[in-house]
A and B are shown apart, each in its own frame.
Chain A
Amino acid sequence: MQLYLPIAEVAVNAYALVGIGGLVGFLSGLFGVGGGFLITPLLIFIGVPPGVAVATGSNQVVASSISGVLAQFKRKAVDIRMGVVLLCGGLIGSGIGIWVFARLTAIGQVDLFVSLAYVVFLGIVGAMMMQESLRALWRARQAGGVVVRRAHVHTWAHGMPFKVKFRTSGLYISVLPPLMIGAFVGFLSAVMGVGGGFIMVPAMIYLLGMPTKVVIGTSLFQIIFTTAFTTVAHAVTSQSVDILLAVLLILGGVIGAQFGARFGVRLKAEQLRILLAGLVLLVCFKVGLDLVLTPSELYSVTLAGRLP
């Protein structure tokens, strides 16, 4: 069924949109990532203009994150205090990021910067996660299925002032590291047009030492607010949020997120991390390839005055 989208001004297949929403929602519920780094390329692929794809994608991420976070709340897997601290940092970071984005747009290099940011950060995060979780899985196998785990590892995060108890995460650490991580992710999400879950999740696991179970819910909790802010900002500045497109993506997304959250329970934390690492590396590889390969069309035409 073809459907004409009022803001995107293209006619697309409605079932394809529900399908894309469902796929991204499933991954969102499974890994606790917003899925912004997947939904934007997929929408552009089916012919939606990039500006509309970024803005409407963030609206869809709001819905699937809410759906996912409610499922996590039931399992008491959301550290609200940690989420709020990360969010405070995130707002500072995204403020700086929006300014940098405007500067880059003015000199016409925003596309290149976004692609490079994708390759560098997805590459580093993906490789680190893959290496760590493969090693953990291998060690578990060596130990005959019994995983020997320390209660928690003391990292540099334990030596800083302003210590706060994060009961859900079982942590007693300074608020400074979460604030800095939040700010860094906020900056990247504003520049890259993503929720930032794929950086937030590994940062919480490896830098803060939070348990994987809590990380997903807390990441989703924080992503809701970041992407809600982005959606309204895009609607006001460039009128590029397409409600009809969003409704179809959301319809698939919320259902997908529920399946994802339930499917995630059955998987081991290491398996979950390997899968996410593989996905991140795949997107990184694709974006990197597009940068290096000779494009079939050297020219590109965009409407002036719209988002790049």
Chain B
Amino acid sequence: MIRALALALALLPLPAGAESIVAGLSQSSVSITADYAGSEILIYGAVKREAPIAPGRSLRVVITVEGPDLPVVVRRKDRIGPIWANTDRLRPGPVPSFYAVASSAPLDEALTPEEDLRHGVTLARVLRSEEPTSQPFMDAILRIGTAEGRYFTQENSIALTEETLFRTDVALPAALTEGNYTVRLFLTREGEVLDTVKRTIWVRKAGLERFIYENAHQQPLLYGLASLLIAGFAGWAASALFQRMRW
């Protein structure tokens, strides 16, 4: 019955003008200042079409936000005698420091496995290894990243109105890595991707944070000596202050 329906739907002529996606972000840059404690990005947009909405066929929106890729080492502990020690390790190459997936419906409904493979949308797909022996290590990256709040999937979190307007909020955590965050938006029907759009959020340290970070990397020796000077002065000042208070 379902198969027959799907066949019938597939035979229907497609609308003359295909549907495409228009998107915007509430902010295209995030400044990390000293009081930065996470921020929320509003991602919104609309479906642009020439023809009337095709009836009965489910329109879905899937959004991913991906942080800069960083090289990692994954180690596994094993029991050697009475103690636990690192025995195996894997260097899987760069993996995303942050990855969020939001969708307007359950993901398996919004996206076919083939389309997931083609575009690399879900976390399980992004962290998939070719070799079966390294898959447990990739699973560990996913598990630990999820526990730390750097990876998450929010199904049904996109509000889609009249198959045309959509919006969602994605929370960026307080422990944020500097770099370019890529936002990808997918418009799907029956799990097939109709259109995709890419946007970028620039995450940069600002103010004091920028100043300290740059000096630490460009003048490491001076930076080290400066931190010693601060330590020395603070130590002396506390001693002098307490001396004056006489106790």
A residues near B (Cβ < 8 Å) are 1-4, 6-7, 9-11, 47, 59-60, 62-68, 70-71, 74, 108-109, 111-112, 228, 231-236, 239, 241-244, 246-247, 250-251, 253-255, 257-258, 262, 291-295, 297-305
Q: For the complex, would chain A's binding face be called helix, strand, loop or mixed by DSSP majority?
A: helix
Are B144 and A297 in contact (CB-based, < 8 A)?
yes
In the assembled complex, 26 residue pairs joining A and B whose CB atoms fall closer than 8 Å, in A order, are A4-B37, A6-B213, A47-B175, A62-B232, A62-B235, A66-B236, A70-B236, A228-B231, A231-B227, A232-B224, A233-B224, A236-B224, A239-B223, A244-B34, A244-B209, A247-B230, A250-B230, A251-B234, A254-B238, A298-B78, A299-B75, A299-B76, A299-B136, A302-B75, A303-B72, A304-B73
Q: Is A239 in contact with B212, judged by CB distance below 8 angstroms?
A: no
Nearest-Cβ distance from residue A195 to partner chain B, whole angstroms: 13
Contact indicator A63/B235 (Cβ below 8 Å):
yes
Q: Which residues of A contact B77 (CB under 8 A)?
A: 295, 298-300
* B34 cross-chain contacts in A, Cβ below 8 A: 3-4, 244
Contacting residue for B37 out of A7, A9, A11, A300, CB 8 A: A11
Nearest to A308 among chain B residues (CB) is B73
- Of B84-92, B111-119, B183-191, the stretch lying at the interface with chain A is B84-92
A250 cross-chain contacts in B, Cβ below 8 A: 230-231, 234-235
Query: Contact partner of B175 among A9, A242, A294, A299, CB < 8 A?
Result: A9
> Of A10, A68, A70, A302, which one neighbours B73 at CB under 8 angstroms?
A302
Cβ of B225 within 8 Å of any chain A Cβ, yes or no, is yes
Q: Which of A71, A233, A241, A304 contacts B71 (CB 8 A)?
A: A304
Select from chain A the residue with minimum beta-carbon distance to B95.
A301
User: Which chain A residue shows the least CB distance to B83?
Assistant: A291
Q: A59, B228: Cβ atoms under 8 Å?
A: yes
Shortest Cβ distance from A224 into chain B, in angstroms? 9
Tell me which residues across on chain B come within 8 A of A108, comparing CB atoms.
Answer: 75, 86, 89
Evaluate contact between B174 and A235: CB separation under 8 angstroms. Answer: no
